[in-house]
Amino acid sequence: MTEPGGGSSPDKDTAGEAELTRDQNRTDAPGVPAPGAPAGRQAAEPAGGTGPEEPTGSVTQRFGRTVLDSILSANTVTVTVLAIFIALVVGAILIVVSNPTLTSEYGYFFGAPGTVLADSWSVVAAAYANLFKGAVFDPATVSGAINGTNSWSQAFAPLSETLTYTAPLVFTGLAVALAFRGGLFNIGAQGQAIIGAIGGAVIGFDLPLPYGLHVIVALLGAAAGGALWAFIAGALKARSGAHEVIVTIMLNNVATLLLGWLIVQKGVHDPTRTDAISKNVDKTAKLPTIPGVDHNIVRVHLGIVLGVLAALGIAWLLQRSTIGFRLRAVGANPAAARTAGMSVGGAYVLVMVLSGALAGLGGGMQVLGTTASSLTAQVTANIGFDGITVALLGRGKPWGVVASALLFGALHAGGNRMQSFSHVAIDLVFLVQAVIVIFIAAPALVKAIFRLRAARSGGTPTTLAKGW
Amino acid sequence: MWKEIVLRPARGMRLVSVLAVGGLVLAAAGCGKPPAKNNANGAPSASGKPTHGCMVTDTGGINDRSFNSSAWKGMQAAASKNSNIKVDFTQSASEADYQPNLNNFVSQKCDLIVAIGGLMGDATKASAQANPNQKYAIVDDNLPLANVFSIQFDTAQAGYLAGYLAAGYSKSKTVATYGGIKIPPVTIFMDGFVDGVAHYNQVKNAHVKVLGWDKAAQNGSFTNDFSDQNKGRSLSDAFVAQGADVIMPVAGGAGLGTAAAAQQANGKYSVIWVDQDGCVSAAQYCSVFLSTVVKNVADATQAAVAETSAGTLQGGTGSIGTLANNGVQLAPYHDFDSKVPAELKTEVDKLKQDIISGAIKVTSPAQPMPPAVGSGTASVAPSASAVPSSSGSAVPSPSAS
């Protein structure tokens, strides 16, 4: 992912890729008209930007310089790492400021600077230690598991929590990222996730199916729900040019209200309860957890595996398939793509449907996984909007999305423990996430703060989508 | 790139000046003397095992001016009354956080974990079943488990008084109510309100109309939101247009929209607040609050924590707040004290006594049922659960018989 000196778009070897596409066009894409092949090369030009100059020199020299370059110049990795670092520093300051004991100590800072700083350090260190213990592992439970005082499942519980929070974010992150690459800003992942959750849950409790088949059908239902919801926005964009940002925002509201209405209707509402909650999803439709382990403690389920597979699929789709090439071409320059004979409207619809299906799966995770088993008004939490930040942090790339979803999942899981054990409000975690994204969105800030030199070419992209 | 170079010196200067000013401020503020270390202070004053009460909020958060904040107030009151009690809370940002938050408190070995709200029921049930030795209390839900204490409120009783008061006070002979979401803890207020108005009509042979809730059909007006004031306001504006001059919003923060609109209307209509006395929790609108249907969550959680400390809290039982034990009540009239006719006040007081004595039965489909664990312990009479508002001492457990 380093891409030293890489351009703003992932097309490192434009020519090679166009070559590949031309071959594919000739053999397996009969829908594309014959002129598509040479025009595909044209369309790839704007996507690729200015190709990097071939560096000269021996391989080791080149490698060494590349590594040094990538550390000292403002490329995506350094900017991302430094943005996380700045966010943690800002978080530390806020931990100190929001701690009443420490703020009163700062009243006599110059009386005893050592004590005050040491106290501040210990508070911040304890908070971040709990963040780590809640997200990765707690040495106490690990040694406890070795000594036999507690079960191994407790030792793995933090990691499992992280992965449980990560799974839906991978899907919604991929959804937003894929739309970015197709040149669309899908703000509607939240609404698509809600419809996906509805689709998954309704199949989960109203369709009696055997083990195995049920969960697959429920997942398909979730994907179909999200795809349908996104199709509305995609079709409106393709047909009438209605802006997808506006349409998806409005569809978010429609989805939220639809969910609120649906859960109190007959057939969906749990008749044994009087509050606004749906029936429970059948056990047969639940995503399997690790067998033989108490799933109240180790909550991780198959969703995270599916998430990684989805990332793999999207990576393949974008980099290796004709469809992916067409989507990226349309995303990079719709006019050029149209000139090349590609159907821009068709690509918009397709990218939205795929994006919606992913977001729908993310919503499905919430009801088919271990976080909830019935629909409530807030069952999808905030995964759709978090997906936008995950996609931004992941730079719109499938594996970047997986990594940033993992970071967000870890922050959330650790934040729960930090709040519980160190009394630092969970909001701090969201603030840290927000600060990370602010700095990612404004790489010039990071460059200025750390006096990084600009990357050789391309540098850090600021605009991911050409939505406006 | 050239921009960078041009801008950098200026930015550097600015940074220096900010630091300098900040330093001056800090220097001015930070010149105090550190207090002398006082080690004797740290020792616990009371003997006995310390009690740790832990509360998990629902997604409303700790400052929701509703049951989360009331419950936390009660926990804090318990801690301030007894130095042996320590209380903590954790906020849930989403429903996905309920279980991890409960589990985190289990691993901290809390003596009592208080879960807030019926939507936490499933997570609390799972956690309570997985940890049978851990004690739990849940507000606004009824979990028939041996280690869970269910705290519920028969708010319909106080809502009944509010309905009667509203009907008697209304000049246009039209009153209204609306809710946040159609869930029992909300509709129970509205059921009581509607019945109270009906009772007034029956006694006085009057024809006061209620807008916004049909008790028989269990259907009415909802904002579907507990925080959006505009939604509350647009609903109440519609009621006012239909002639309502007393409105009871049961929608948390969304109801503040109605209070604000009533204030702007200069007393054209008045508001009956819910949960916590409006003149305390939303004091800026005190001038429009006719009264408040109070749900004493604070007293109930305080009692639960105090009982845990005293070792008398019995899981598998619960408390139901009623007019008799002040678990629910009608708040003072405050600014309306002079405007409410004395006769009406007396009638409302009489009605309260009738409800307590059982002469008048208030019913609602949303009314809480006492928890029933197994076969033997299912004997919690609604009035048996004392939740005294004044005393923080251990309360006799409701299932003493």
DSSP one-letter code for B137: E
pLDDT the model gives residue A109: 80
The proportion of chain A whose per-residue pLDDT surpasses 70, expressed as a percent, equals: 83
Is B86 among the domain residues?
yes
Least confident of A68-77, A333-342, B24-33, B174-183: B24-33
Residue A441: pLDDT band by 50, 70, 90 thresholds? confident
Chain B residue numbers touching A456 (CB-CB < 8 A)? none
Co-location of B213 and B285 in the same domain:
yes
Is it the case that residue B355 has pLDDT exceeding 80?
yes
Band the pLDDT of A423: cuts 50, 70, 90.
confident
Query: In the structure encoding, which two tokens stand for residue A438, read together?
Result: 């602010």
CA distance B44 to B303: 22
Query: Hey, are the CB atoms on B96 and A371 less than 8 Å from each other?
Result: yes
pLDDT at B19: 53
Q: What is the per-residue pLDDT for A468?
A: 39
pLDDT tens digit sequence for A188-197:
999 999 999 9
Q: Largest Cα–Cα distance of chain B, in whole Å?
A: 86
φ and ψ at residue B318, rounded to 5 degrees: -175, 180
Task: Find chain A residues with C-beta within 8 A of B108's C-beta.
Answer: 420-421
Other beta carbons within 10 angstroms of residue A53's beta carbon come to 9
Q: Which residues contact A400 (CB under 8 A, 6 or more apart)?
A: A1, A177, A393, A394
C-alpha closest to that of A157 among A167, A145, A168, A169: A145
Q: Is the domain of B206 the same as that of B231?
A: yes
pLDDT at residue number A98? 87
Token pair recorded at residue A201: 């849950």
Question: Is there a domain that residue B259 lies in?
Answer: yes
Please, how many CA atoms are within 13 Å of residue B139, restricted to the half-sphere of its CB? Answer: 31
Query: Does residue B373 have a pLDDT over 60?
Result: no
Residues 104-143 of B with CB under 8 A from A: 104-105, 107-108, 118-119, 122, 126-127, 130
Same domain, B313 and B383: yes
- Indicate whether B129 and B238 sit together in one domain: no
pLDDT at B43 over 50: no
In B, which residues are within 8 Å of A430 by CB distance? 93
What CATH number does the domain containing B247 carry? 3.40.50.2300
Query: Is B104 within 8 Å of A448 when comparing Cβ atoms?
Result: no
Contact B95 A372 (CB under 8 A): yes
Span of A107-111, A419-423, B194-198 with lowest mean pLDDT: A107-111
How far apart, in Å, do the first and last CA atoms of chain A sit?
27
The full 3-state SS of B188-216, as one line of letters, equals: HHHHHHHHHHHHHHHHHCCCCEEECEECC
pLDDT at A293: 83
CB pairs under 8 A between A and B: 116
Using pLDDT thresholds of 50, 70 and 90, give the confidence band for residue A130: very high
- Mean pLDDT along residues B94-102: 88
Q: In terms of pTM, does the model score above 0.80?
A: no
DSSP codes of every residue in B242-278: TT--EEEEESGGGGHHHHHHHHHTTTSSEEEEEES-H
Which segment of A44-53, A327-336, A446-455, B30-39 scores lowest on mean pLDDT? A44-53
Buried b / exposed e over B177-215, threshold 16 CB at 10 Å, is bbbbbbbbbbbbbbbbbbbbbbbbbeeeeeebbbbbbeb
Are B122 and B88 within one domain? yes
Give mean pLDDT, residues A401-429.
91
User: What is the structure's pLDDT at A116?
Assistant: 86
Alpha carbon dihedral B201, B207, B209, B210, in 10-degree steps, equals 0
Identify the bridge partners of residue A270 per DSSP, sorted by sequence position: none
What is the number of residues in chain A?
A: 468
Answer whether residue A107 shows pLDDT above 90. no
Residue B321: C-alpha distances to residues A173, B355, B386, B398 (Å): 46, 13, 8, 12
What pLDDT sits at residue A461? 52
Question: What pLDDT, on a 0 to 100 scale, did the predictor assign at position A45?
Answer: 41
Q: How large is the average pLDDT for residues B347-360? A: 92
The Cα A14–Cα A48 span in angstroms is 6
Whether residue B351 is contained in a domain is answered as: yes
- The per-residue pLDDT for B21 is 54
pLDDT at A25 over 50: no
B103 contacts on A by Cβ (under 8 Å): 157, 296-297
Query: How far is residue B202's CA from residue B192's CA, in Å, rounded to a whole number?
Result: 15
Residue with tokens 């990612």: A440
- ipTM for the predicted complex: 0.73
Position A90 confidence tier, pLDDT thresholds 50, 70, 90? very high
Residue B147 and residue B289 in one domain: no
Q: Which three-class secondary structure string do you get for chain A?
A: CCCCCCCCCCCCCHHHHHHHHHHHHHHHCCCCCCCHHHHHHHHHHHHHCCCCCCCCCCHHHHHHHHHHHHHHECCHHHHHHHHHHHHHHHHHHHHHHCCHHHHHHHHHCCCCHHHHHHHHHHHHHHHHHHHHHHHCCCHHHHHHHHHCCCCHHHHHHHHHHHHHHHHHHHHHHHHHHHHHHCCCCCCCHHHHHHHHHHHHHHHHHHCCCCCCHHHHHHHHHHHHHHHHHHHHHHHHHHHHCCCHHHHHHHHHHHHHHHHHHHCCCCCCECCCCCCCCECECCHHHCCCECCCCCCCCCCCECHHHHHHHHHHHHHHHHHHCHHHHHHHHHHHCHHHHHHCCCCHHHHHHHHHHHHHHHHHHHHHHHHHCCCCCECCCCCCCCHHHHHHHHHHHCCCCHHHHHHHHHHHHHHHHHHHHHHHHHCCCCHHHHHHHHHHHHHHHCHHHHHHHHCCECCCCCCCCCCCCCCC
Percentage of residues of chain B with pLDDT beyond 70: 81
In chain A, the percentage of residues whose pLDDT exceeds 90 is 50
pLDDT for B7 beyond 70: no
**DSSP 8-state class, residue B385:** S
Q: How far apart are CA A405 and CA A161, in angstroms?
A: 13
CA distance A44 to A313: 22
Q: Identity (one letter) of the amino acid at B259?
A: A
pLDDT value at residue B32? 62
List of residues 6+ apart from A113 with CB closer than 8 A: none
The token duo for B154 is 């028969």
pLDDT at A467: 40
Cβ distance A296 to B182 less than 8 Å, yes or no, reads no
Backbone angles phi, psi at A291, to 5 degrees: -65, 145
Q: What is the mean pLDDT of residues B293-312?
A: 91
CA angle A371, A373, A377 (to 5 degrees): 85
> Which of A43-57, A140-154, A304-318, B220-234 comes out lowest in average pLDDT?
A43-57
A90 or A56, which is more confident? A90
Predicted pLDDT at A46: 42
Strand partners, B152: B320
Question: Once rounded to an integer, what is the mean pLDDT over residues A246-264?
Answer: 92
Whether residue B332 is contained in a domain is answered as no
Beta bridge partners of B329: B294
CB-based contact A277 B119, cutoff 8 Å: yes
pLDDT at residue B392 is higher than 50 = no
The sign of the CA dihedral A452, A454, A456, A457 is positive
Candidates B95, B109, B124, B186: best to mutate against A (most CBs of A within 10 A) is B95
Q: How far is CA B207 from the centre of its chain?
A: 32
Cα separation of B178 and A422, whole Å? 40
Mean pLDDT of A228-254: 94
* Residue indicated by tokens 């009660």: B74
CA–CA separation, B53 and B301 (whole Å)? 10
Tell me: do B230 and B316 sit in the same domain. no
Query: Closest Cα of chain B to A391: distance in Å?
Result: 21
Determine the average pLDDT of the residues in B316-345. 91
Residues B322, B348: one domain? no
Least Cα distance to B320 among B250, B232, B377, B383 occurs for: B383
Report d(CA A456, CA A289) in Å as an integer: 47
Q: Is the pLDDT of residue B35 over 90?
A: no
Q: At what angle do helices A398-422 and A383-393 cross, to 10 degrees?
A: 120
Residue B221 within a domain: yes
Testing the interface with A: which of B2, B68, B92, B103 to mutate, by most A Cβ within 10 A?
Answer: B103
Lowest mean pLDDT among A2-16, A328-342, A385-399: A2-16
SS3 letters across B362-378? CCCCCCCCCCCCCCCCC
Say yes or no to pLDDT of A230 above 80.
Answer: yes
- Whether B40 is covered by a domain: the verdict is no
- How far is A468 from A460, CA to CA, in rounded Å? 20
- What does the pLDDT read at residue A209? 92
Match 């795929």 to its residue by tokens.
Answer: A354
Q: Which residues of A touch B125 (CB under 8 A)?
A: none
Question: For residue A13, what pLDDT band results from cuts at 50, 70 and 90?
Answer: very low
Neighbours of A377 (CB within 10 A): 22
- Give B398's pLDDT tier (boundaries 50, 70, 90): very low
Query: Which chain B residues are within 8 Å of A105, Cβ to Cβ?
Result: 34
Using a CB-CB distance cutoff of 8 angstroms, which residues of chain B are in contact with residue A420? 88, 90, 101, 104-105, 108
pLDDT confidence of residue A74 = 64
Question: Mean pLDDT lowest for which of A8-22, A209-223, B109-123, B362-376?
Answer: A8-22
User: By the 8 A CB rule, do B247 and B268 touch?
Assistant: no
Domains of chain A in start order, with CATH, are 151-423 (1.10.3470)
Looking at residue A81, what is its pLDDT? 87
Q: Specify the pLDDT at position B37.
A: 52
* Same-domain check for residues B285 and B248: yes
Q: Do B100 and A416 touch (CB under 8 A)?
A: yes
Phi-psi region of B48 (alpha: psi -120 to 50; beta: other; left: phi over 0): left
Whether the per-residue pLDDT at B29 is higher than 80: the answer is: no
- Same domain? B176 vs B93: no
Task: Give the model's confidence band at B46: pLDDT under 50 very low, under 70 low, under 90 confident, else very high.
Answer: very low
Classify residue A83 by burial, with Cβ atoms within 10 Å: 0-12, 13-18, 19+. Answer: buried
Q: Point out the least confidently predicted range of A217-231, A409-423, B1-15, B253-267.
A: B1-15
Q: Mean pLDDT, to the nearest integer, of B67-71? A: 87
Tell if the CB–CB gap between B32 and A420 is shorter than 8 Å: no
How far is residue B377 from each of residues A227, B132, B145, measured CA to CA in Å? 51, 17, 11
- Residue A50: pLDDT above 60? no
- Domain identity same for B140 and B74: yes
Checking if the pLDDT of A14 tops 80, the result is: no
Q: State yes or no: pLDDT of B386 exceeds 70.
A: no
Q: In this structure, are residues A363 and A193 in contact, taking their beta carbons and an 8 Å threshold? A: yes
Q: Across residues B307-325, what is the average pLDDT?
A: 89
Question: Number of structural domains, chain B?
Answer: 2
**Quick one: tokens of A350?**
């397709």
Least reliable range by pLDDT among A34-38, B22-26, B66-70, B326-330: A34-38
Domain that holds residue B284: 155-295+338-357
pLDDT given for residue A71 in this prediction: 65
**More confident site: A340 or B63:** A340
Beta bridge partners of B177: B248
C-beta atoms of B90 and A419 within 8 A:
yes
DSSP strand pairing (B289-295 vs B328-330) = antiparallel
Task: Answer yes or no: is B35 within a domain.
Answer: no
pLDDT-derived band of residue A324, with 50, 70 and 90 as boundaries?
very high
Residues of A within 8 A of B31 (CB-CB) are 108, 110-111
User: B254, B64, B95: which is closest to A377 by C-alpha?
Assistant: B95
Interface of B with A in 153-182 (CB under 8 A): 181-182
Angle, CA B270 vertex, CA B266 and CA B274 arms, to 5°: 135
B25 C-beta neighbours (distance < 10 Å), count: 10
Of B1, B96, B130, the CB nearest to A296: B130
Q: What is the pLDDT of residue B266?
A: 86
pLDDT at A224 over 90: yes
Query: Lowest-confidence range among A55-59, A256-260, B103-107, B388-392?
Result: B388-392
Quickly state the pLDDT bin for B13 (edges 50, 70, 90): low
pLDDT of residue B61: 82
Q: Give me the pLDDT at residue A443, please.
A: 80
Of residues B393 and B104, more confidence is placed in: B104
Residues B234, B240: Cα–Cα separation, whole Å: 10
Q: Is residue B9 part of a domain?
A: no
Q: Are residues B277 and B166 in the same domain?
A: yes
User: Between residues 14 and 53 of chain B, which touch chain A (CB distance below 8 Å)?
Assistant: 26-27, 29-35
Write the Ramachandran bin of A144: left for phi over 0, alpha for psi from -120 to 50, otherwise beta. alpha
Chain A nearest CA to B108, separation (Å): 8
- Give me the pLDDT at residue B3, please: 43
pLDDT by residue (tens digit) across B201-232?
999 999 999 999 998 888 889 988 777 889 99
| B400 pLDDT higher than 60 | no
Closest to A91 measured CA to CA, from A462, A434, A448, A420? A434
pLDDT number for residue B181: 82
Whole-number pLDDT of residue A260: 87
Q: Categorize the per-residue pLDDT at A444 as very low, low, confident or very high, splitting at 50, 70 and 90.
A: confident
